[in-house]
Structure 1
Amino acid sequence: MWSSGVAVVIPCHKVTKHILPLLECIGPLVDRIYCVDDCCPDGSGDLVERACGDPRVVVVRNAVNLGVGGAVMHGYERAIADGATVMVKLDGDGQMDPSLIDVFVAPILAGDADYTKGNRFFDLRGISAMPLLRRIGNLGLSFMAKASTGYWDVFDPTNGYTAIHAAIARRLPLEAISKRYFFESDILFRLNVMRAKVVDIPMDSRYADEVSGLKVSKIIGEFLAKHMRNACKRVIYNYYLRDLNMASIELLVGLPMLVFGALFGFFHWLHAAEEGLFTPLGTIMLAALPMMLGLQLLLAFLSHETSAMPRHALHPLLTRYPSGALPPVA
């Protein structure tokens, strides 16, 4: 029986050292805990079934390894099918403090947010506890994610400590969301297209002897390509397919002007340098004017972008409709 409607989803892959102590720390607010054994070679699911006596714990098994994103989506599907109201995602390696579950869930249950996520950069004093490479990588990824997701007021996009309302998760294309480490940013992109409200929750991370599978040097290129793809898709969805406003025109006019001015100026500068000639003043103005105007229009577009983020939670409206009455977001 559900009382609070809160479920916890824990992807389990090579976490046999940390999973049992983590389960012991999950408080009474949580009605059900889904440990998703992502084809773990160490038998995480078997360990939980054998050694954990908590009746709230349910082991969900993946026949093949789907990656952390795929495991979380499987857990979401199971929790939604069982009637959960809010799903909290915890990592199984002990980095996330279970005592914060109440803090992550409260804004959603109060109708003030659709999705909450941790932010390890809120308290500048606590950043020093984060390994230097991870700190630099997360800062870089955060700036890329702001452009691709449209949530300019949130930070730390790769933070996996999250909570989501079931009415919002039900409309996400769970099968299309990235299955690996990009899934947190991919969810944010799709939430923005849906116009869901996202709230950052200040938190500290705990770094002990766990080994992170996220290597910044290996994923930076992949993340950059995916962020660029999502940024283009989001802009097209939000500014040209679903709406058309002054920001749409500013981008449509400003970007070509800036590109034209830069290419025109570079071509004539290169030609003058090869010929040993001075570039005529008129040619300089033909390059500088569209660049300045284009830059001004792009700044106006960015001003609209940073002020047009979702301000109201969406799930109170969605819960008024019967299940399946509204189509999922593409």
Structure 2
Amino acid sequence: MRIAVAIPCYKVTQHVLHVIEAIGPEVETIYAVDDACPDHSGQFIEKHNVDPRVRVLFNPENRGVGGAIVSAYQAAIADGVDIVVKIDGDGQMNPALLPRFVAPLLRGEADYTKGNRFFRPESVQGMPPVRLFGNAVLSFMTKLSCGYWNIMDPTNGYTAARTCVLTELPLGKLENRYFFETDMLFRLNTIRAVVKDIPMDSVYADEQSNLKIGKVLPEFLRKHAARLWRRYVYNYLVRDFNVGTLYSLCGTMLVLTGSVFGSAHWLNSTISNHPATSGTVMLAALPIMIGIQCLIAFLHYDVSNIPVEPLSRSLPTPPSGNAD
């Protein structure tokens, strides 16, 4: 299969040439995407690069890491490439790991692979505690909103994808900036693509992160909630109506009924100074307890409902042409 590497280039002139040099001969094409970089990364690469595999792409305006990768995806699809590996240009991702990421795709075991820095305890020893905690929280939120309960480290940008699967996605609608990796997982789940984690170590050099937790946290919460709702509606109401749907609907109705009934009688007893009878308390508590059991059963069903059959096995190789 034809393998390409996509490198988003934004303020990475100190590292990107070393990254390109470390990419092995199994790669046919290297897409270096200058995302309207103020350091003119694209021109820097064209001037100093000696690797004939490199093709520099220029975005007319800054579109963020998502916009840069989408540009590379579209170029790879147009060129008839089979697998695209995304590696950052700041030196944090070891190109020598590339065979590990493409191996499950070559064997037909997965449609999309991504790095996981949490697989081995030793690999997180150099990770700042704030990042460690933040990634753990984001991982759980992503499991809820995207449905891939078998993965960790959702913000990890070291990824590999089959282009035949990428053609099934609305690439033009993907998030362009910090939410790109999570939105990618959400879109992959809607087409039932198989995603697999690849263990890797974390590396922190002299780069500076532009991600401000306090600024993006409300946005992340809102977007996770929106995708959770969309995933539920699509998978449990529109695409299918299954036992998970029954568990979730019955559980929600029972919890709400018990909560409203109990709150009304508690308020009435507070105003009248007459305590509620034991029967009234049971009538409020029993639906809540049964409802919680139903919601737990729904969660168990959702966890066991992750995609297991790779989509790429049933898809033809995409013809040359641009993706929407």
Aligning the two structures, in what range does the TM-score lie when normalised by the shorter sequence?
over 0.9
Percent identical across equivalent pairs?
A: 51
State how far apart, in whole Å, the 1-side matches of 2:316 and 2:36 are: 34
Q: 1:130 is matched with which residue?
A: 127
Q: 1:188 is matched with which residue?
A: 185
Q: Which blocks of at least 5 consecutive residues in structure 2 are unaligned?
A: none
For 1:51-62, what aligned pairs fall within 5 Å after superposition?
51-62=48-59
State how far apart, in whole Å, the 2-side matches of 1:310 and 1:250 are: 20
User: Is residue 16 of structure 2 the alignment partner of residue 31 of structure 1?
Assistant: no
User: Is residue 94 of structure 2 the alignment partner of residue 97 of structure 1?
Assistant: yes
Shift in Å, 1:190: 1.1
Q: 1:22 is matched with which residue?
A: 19
Shift in Å, 1:135: 0.8
State how far apart, in whole Å, the 2-side matches of 1:229 and 1:301 are: 19
Match of 1:203 among 194, 200, 205: 200
Shift in Å, 1:319: 1.6
Shift in Å, 1:286: 2.1
Worse overlay, 111-120 or 214-223: 214-223
Q: 1:235 is matched with which residue?
A: 232
Secondary structure, aligned partner of 1:47: helix
Q: 1:225 is matched with which residue?
A: 222
Contact 1:9 1:90 in 2 (8 A): yes
Q: Which blocks of at least 5 consecutive residues in structure 1 are unaligned?
A: none
The two structures have a TM-score, normalised by structure 1, of 0.94
State how far apart, in whole Å, the 1-side matches of 2:76 and 2:172 are: 15
Q: 2:8 is matched with which residue?
A: 11
State how far apart, in whole Å, the 2-side matches of 1:304 and 1:196 are: 18
Contact 1:119 1:159 in 2 (8 A): yes
State how far apart, in whole Å, the 2-side matches of 1:30 and 1:257 are: 56
Contact 2:78 2:319 in 1 (8 A): no
Contact 1:134 1:216 in 2 (8 A): no
User: Is residue 81 of structure 2 the alignment partner of residue 69 of structure 1?
Assistant: no
Secondary structure, aligned partner of 1:213: coil
Q: 1:299 is matched with which residue?
A: 296
User: Is residue 318 of structure 2 the alignment partner of residue 318 of structure 1?
Assistant: no
Amino acid at match of 1:41: P
Worse overlay, 64-73 or 269-278: 269-278
Q: 1:108 is matched with which residue?
A: 105
For 1:208-287, what aligned pairs fall within 5 Å after superposition?
208-287=205-284
User: Is residue 163 of structure 2 the alignment partner of residue 166 of structure 1?
Assistant: yes
Shift in Å, 1:91: 1.1
Shift in Å, 1:270: 4.1
State how far apart, in whole Å, the 1-side matches of 2:95 and 2:217 are: 29
State how far apart, in whole Å, the 1-side matches of 2:264 and 2:58 are: 59
Q: 2:78 is matched with which residue?
A: 81
Q: 1:153 is matched with which residue?
A: 150
* Alignment RMSD (CA, Å): 1.7
Q: 1:176 is matched with which residue?
A: 173
State how far apart, in whole Å, the 1-side matches of 2:41 and 2:261 are: 60
Shift in Å, 1:275: 4.6
State how far apart, in whole Å, the 2-side matches of 1:272 and 1:70 are: 58
Worse overlay, 124-133 or 75-84: 124-133
Shift in Å, 1:306: 0.8
Q: 1:163-183 CA deviation, whole Å, 9 max, x = no partner?
A: 000000011100111111111
Kindly report structure 1 stretches of 4+ aligned residues shifted beyond 4 Å.
none
Amino acid at match of 1:236: V
Contact 1:177 1:186 in 2 (8 A): yes
Higher-RCO chain (CA-CA 8 Å, sequence separation at least 6) = 2
Contact 2:66 2:180 in 1 (8 A): yes
Secondary structure, aligned partner of 1:63: coil
